[in-house]
Amino acid sequence: MAIVIESDLSVDIHGLLPAVEHALFGATDRVCLERAWIVTEAYRRFSAEPVPITRAMALREITARMTLDVSSNPIFAGNTSSAPRAWSLVPEAGFGLCPQLKIEHDFITDEWFSAQIPEDLRRAWVELGQAGGNAGTGHVSIDYVRVVNEGVTAILARLATHEPDGDESARVYRRAMKIACRAVIEWANRLADAAESAAAREPDPLRAACHRRAARACRRVPEHPAANLFEGLQSIVLAHLALVLEGQGQSISIGLADRALARFADEAAEAPGASADLIRAFLIAVGSNSFGGRGSNTQAITLGGADHEGRDQCNAVTTAFLRAFEQTPVADPHCFVRWHRNLDEVVWETSTKLLAGGRSMPLLVNDEQVAPALIAAGVAPADAWDYCIIGCNELGIPGRLCESAFPAGLSFNELGVLDRIVRERTESCSSMDAIMALWEAKVLEIAETGLSRRKDAIARHAEKLPMPFTSACSHACAEDGRDWMGGMPYHVPGLYLRGTANAINALAAIERTVFVDRHATLRQMIDAVDAADEAMLHRIAQAPKWGNDDDAADRWALALGQARRRALETAAARNGVPPIAVCHVVRSLHHLDGLKIGATLDGRAAREPVGDSIAAVCGTTRQGPTAILNSVLKLPASKEFAGIYNNNLTLPGNQARPEILRPLIEAFFEDGGQELQVNVLDAAKLKAAKLHPERYQDLVVRIAGLNARFIELSIREQDEIIRRAELA
C-alpha cells in the first residue's frame, strides 16, 4: 500500500524551544514513585499469571493510569514520570543505585536516593521478589525502521499469523506481546486526549497548535505507519518511552534514526530549519523522559553510514539531526556518525565543524572496520551494515543484536588483572614471556567463567524480567514467541574492557626496569611502587609510554591484544559461542576501577582512576595527537575489537579548526582506525565554567562513555576534564 506523505511542518516552534529546553535543564532531580507503585499493584494483582503476562499487564496498567505530562514539552507528547528529571524506578529489577552516577554527580548519593524510596514499597518487594540489577536491563535498540514505517499494527498482524505456532510458553509470550502492543497504542490515544484537552485550555495559540498537532499524530502513531516527519519522530518518542515504562533501564538507544525517517527526507530538505527545530524538541523529549534523571547520559543516536552495497545512507534528516545537536546543548541523547569513504559531504562538513567548535559530538565510528568485524562474527552482511551504537559506545543492530552490549559476567579491568598476576605470582614472572603467558591463562579463566555466568544472566533476565514490548519490536521474537534477551537473531557476546592503556604502560615499565636495565627485581619494583618511592616512580615515568608512537611501548599493546584474542577464541570455541565482541567501555568505570586497586606498576597512584580511553593515559603523551593516533592505528581493530574501542582524543581549541580535524580523522579512518571521540577543550573556559556555571549552560564535554553538560558534572569529573585540557 502506498503511503501518502502529508507534511506537517506548519507550526513554527522556533520561539517555543527555549522554554522547552529550560523545562529540562532547569528541572531538579527527584524520584517519581508513580510507576513503582503501579507496577507493585500489578504484580500483586496478576501474580497468578505467567511472568510475561504479568509484565505485559503491568505495562498496560502503567500506560492506562500514569499521569500524563503534555505541557513540559508541548511539541511531542509522551512522558515516563511526573516531570522532566523525575526518576522512574524499576522496583521489579531492584532498588540499587548505579555507582557510576555517584561519580558523575555530587548530589547523587546512596542516602539521597535511599531516602526517596518509602519503606512500605521496599517491604512490598521483599515479598514480591526482585530480579536483580539496578537499572533494569537497558542497552537495547529496537527496530525503528519497522516501528515508524510499518507501525505496531504490522507487529500485531505478525503475532496473529504465528499465534498457534510453537509450545505453550511461545504462545503465552505472544499473548504478552499483544497485550503490550495494545497497551502502547491505548497510551498514545490517552496522550492524544490529553493533548486535545490541553489545546482547548491553552491560551497561547502556538502552544495550542503544538498540542493539536501532537494529538493528531498520537491518533495515528505508533499504531500506524507515520505519514510525515513529525509523526515519524512522534512515533519514535512513544516507542522509546514505552521501553522506559516497560522497565528497560540505562542506555536505551535510538539506533539508526535517519534511516528510520528516510522516507521523509524530501520534507526535511524542503524545510531544513523547521526540521532541525522539530528534532531539537525531539532530543529534549528523549532526554527529559529517561531513566535516572540527569544520570541518563547514554541514549545513543546513530547517523549516516553506508549499507552493505556501499551506498551512503545519509539524507536530509541526517543533516537536520546534526543541526539540531548544534543548536540544542543536550548531552543525552548523544550522537554518533558512521564514517565511510563516500559519506555525504554536507554531513561530514557539518560534523567536523561541530567538533571543531567544541560540541564534543558527533562521536565517530568507522564502517570499514566495524561492519567486517560483525560479519566475521557470523552476522549477515545486510544486517552487519545496519549496526548502531548502543549506550556509551557498545555495538548492536536495531532489533537484531543486543548481546554485544550486554556485558553480564564478561567485564574486567586489564590493569587490575595484570596487577594481580604480578603480585600474586611474582616468582613465576621470570620473563616478559612468562608474564604474558600468565596473563593469557588468566584471561581464559575469566572468559570461561564469564561466559557461563553470562548464559545464566541472560536466562535469568528472560525468565524474571521479560520485556514483551521490546521483544515485539525486535526481529524473530514474534515469530518464535521468545523474549528479546536470547530471542533476537544474533548472539554475539560482548566483553567490556577497561584499563588497557595503563596495562600497556605497566608492561613497558616492567620490561625496562626489571628485564632490560635490571635496576630492580619485580618484587623490589612492586615494593618501591607501594612505598611511593620517588626514584622508582621517576624511572617508571621515563619508561616508554603508549600513545607516543613508540614501538618500545606499543608492542605491548599488540602482545596484550594477541594474548587476549587467543584466550577469547579458545573460550568461545569451548563454549560454542560466536567470537566475543571486545569493547573498551568506560563511562565512569575508570574511577570505580581505580578505587578498587592500589598503586600499579605504570606509576599510577593508589585509588587514582585508570585511563578512560584506549588511546593514552592522561599526562603520558609527549608527541602530540598524530602520535596518539599512530599508536592506536597499530591495533588490528576489526580483529581485536569487534565491539568499539573507545578512543578519546583531546585537542586544545586553537588546534582544532575543521581544516585540520578533517584530514586528521580521514587519515586515521582510512588507515584502519575504528572509533574516534574528539574533545576540543579550552582549559581557561572550563575553569571559568566551574566558577560561573550560570554563564556556561551550553558547554558539553565528552568524558569516555558519556557526554555531559560540564556544569552538571561532579567536581571530581570537572577537575578531570580540566586536567585533560591543560595537558592536551
Partner 1 sequence: MRTTVFLQGCTLRCWWCHNPDTRPAHHPREREWTTTDLADHVGRDERYWRRSGGGITLSGGEPLMRIEAACGFLDECGRRRWHRAVETAGAVGRGSIQRAAQRLDHWLFDLKTVDAGRFQEATGGDLQGVLENLRWLLGQTSVAVTVRIPLIRGFNDDPASWDLMAACLRGMPRAAAAAILPGHDVGVNLAECPGNPAVERHVAEAARQRLETGGIQTALTW
The site for partner 1 (CB under 8 A) is made up of 549, 626-627, 630, 654, 659-660, 662-664, 666-667, 670-671
* Distance in Å, CB of 392 to partner 1, minimum: 28
Q: How far apart are CA 62 and CA 195, in angstroms?
A: 18
Between 190 and 685, CB nearer to partner 1: 685
DSSP H or E stretch at residue 295? none
**Separation between Cα atoms, residue 28 and residue 25, nearest integer Å:** 8
The least distance separating partner 1 from the CB of residue 385, rounded to whole angstroms, comes to 25
Could you tell me the smallest distance in angstroms from the CB atom of residue 577 to partner 1? Answer: 37
CA dihedral 522, 523, 524, 525 (to 10 degrees): 50
Q: How far is the CB of 366 from partner 1 (least distance, A)?
A: 14
Closest CB to partner 1 among 22 and 353? 353
- We find the least distance from the C-beta atom of residue 80 to partner 1, in angstroms, to be 45
Least distance from partner 1 to the Cβ atom of residue 637, Å: 16
Pairing of strands 388-390, 394-396: antiparallel
Least distance between partner 1 and beta carbon 668 (Å)? 8
Comparing CB distances to partner 1, the nearer of 580 and 664 is 664
Q: Do the beta carbons of residue 218 and residue 192 sit within 8 Å?
A: yes
Distances (CA, A) of 432 to 475, 513, 670: 47, 12, 33
Q: How far is the CB of 687 from partner 1 (least distance, A)?
A: 13
CB nearer to partner 1: pick between 165 and 671: 671
Quote the least distance from Cβ 672 to partner 1, whole Å. Answer: 10
Contact, 85 vs 330, CB < 8 A? no
Strands 494-498 vs 411-413: parallel, antiparallel or unpaired: parallel
Task: With beta carbons less than 8 A apart as the criterion, state whether 75 and 13 touch.
Answer: yes
- For residues 545 and 616, give the distance between their C-alpha atoms in angstroms, rounded to a whole number: 8
Query: Which residue number, 534 or 659, has a Cβ lying nearer to partner 1?
Result: 659
- Taking the least distance from each CB to partner 1, the nearer of 548 and 718 is 548
Dihedral sign, CA of 211, 215, 217, 221?
positive
Task: Decide whether 558 or 660 has the Cβ nearer to partner 1.
Answer: 660
Find the Cα–Cα–Cα–Cα dihedral 437, 440, 444, 446, rounded to 10°: 110
Shortest distance (Å) from residue 644 CB to partner 1:
22
CA gyration radius for the chain? 25
Beta bridge partners of 302: 256, 336
Q: Whole-angstrom Cα distance, residue 470 to residue 59?
A: 11
Phi–psi pair at 676, nearest 5 degrees: -150, 125
Of 553, 557, 549, the C-alpha closest to 540 is: 553
Q: How far is the CB of 409 from partner 1 (least distance, A)?
A: 39
Cβ nearer to partner 1, comparing 223 with 549: 549
Question: In terms of CB distance, is 353 or 464 closer to partner 1?
Answer: 353
On whether the CB atoms of residues 322 and 271 are closer than 8 A, the answer is no
Of 624 and 693, CB closest to partner 1: 624
Task: Give the separation between CA 442 and CA 530, rounded to whole angstroms.
Answer: 23
Residue number, 331 or 661, with CB nearest to partner 1? 661
Q: 298 or 366, CB closer to partner 1?
A: 366
Please report how the helices 144-161 and 168-201 are oriented relative to each other, as an axis angle in degrees rounded to 10: 130
End-to-end Cα separation, the chain, in angstroms: 56
3-class state of residue 451 by DSSP:
helix
Phi, psi dihedral angles at 543 (to 5 degrees)? -70, 155
Separation of alpha carbons 253 and 304, rounded Å: 16
Least distance CB 728 / partner 1 (angstroms): 12
Query: What 3-state class would DSSP assign to 415?
Result: helix
Q: Classify the C-alpha dihedral 42-45-50-51 as positive or negative.
A: positive
For partner 1, which is the closer residue by CB, 168 or 659? 659
Q: Which three cell numbers stand for residue 502?
A: 595503563
Write out the three cell numbers for 432. 616478559
Q: How far is the CB of 59 from partner 1 (least distance, A)?
A: 51
The residue among 99 and 672 lying less far from partner 1, judged by its C-beta, is 672
Pick the closer one to partner 1 by CB: 181 or 722.
722
Q: Which is nearer to partner 1, 31 or 667 (CB)?
A: 667
- d(C-alpha 540, C-alpha 125), whole Å: 52
Cα(305)–Cα(341) distance, integer angstroms = 9
DSSP states of 327-367 = HS---SSEEEEEE-TT--HHHHHHHHHHHHTT----EEEEH
**Of the candidates 284, 330, 286, which has an alpha carbon nearest to the alpha carbon of residue 19?**
284
Count of residues in the chain: 728
Q: How far is the CB of 560 from partner 1 (least distance, A)?
A: 21
What is the nearest approach in angstroms of partner 1 to the Cβ of residue 660? 6
Give φ, ψ of 465 to 5 degrees: -135, 55
User: Considering the complex, what minimum distance in angstroms separates the CB of residue 549 from partner 1?
Assistant: 6
Q: Are 331 and 365 in contact (CB under 8 A)?
A: no
Nearer to partner 1, 342 or 626 (CB): 626
Beta carbons of 300 and 330 less than 8 angstroms apart: no
> What 3-state DSSP class applies to 596?
helix
CA separation for the pair 623, 460 (Å, rounded): 49
Q: Nearest approach, Cβ of 317 to partner 1 (angstroms)?
A: 29
